[in-house]
Amino acid sequence: MPDRIIRDRARRSPTLQAISDAAERAWWRLTTAADDYGRFDADAEVLLSDLFPRRPAGWTPRKMSLVLEEWETDAVGLVHLYQVNGEPRLYGHCVTWSDHQRERESKPKYPDPPCRGNPELA
């Protein structure tokens, strides 16, 4: 599991204040589950098992799907969900990852999002 920097200004983030408690709880877990480029497998079942391996009460794939939808809304914009070359597998990346984390000299675990290099599509 990678080490991450969490800055104290995160407690005052208007974006994190706008999301539900469940979405915020999952968000902090995502910061340790995403790869060094802020990318992750966005299949709700896979993500649920990555973020909550002990499956706390009330957490289901459906709830994880709702959290993903909340993260992706235009009002929040924490993540961008994407597919590669029309394949059915769903990925996500944290839109402002590079603003808050250092990208390391490592190979990404997941493919580049189609919006990489084009902030308008993120």
Q: What is the pLDDT along the chain (122 residues), one digit of tens a residue?
A: 567 777 777 788 888 889 999 999 999 999 989 998 889 999 999 999 999 999 899 999 999 999 999 999 988 899 999 999 888 999 999 988 776 676 667 777 778 888 755 444 43
Amino acid residing at 11: R
DSSP string, 5-53: ---GGGGG-HHHHHS-HHHHHHHHHHHHHS-TTSEEE--HHHHHHHH-T
Structure-block tokens of residue 64: 């994880």
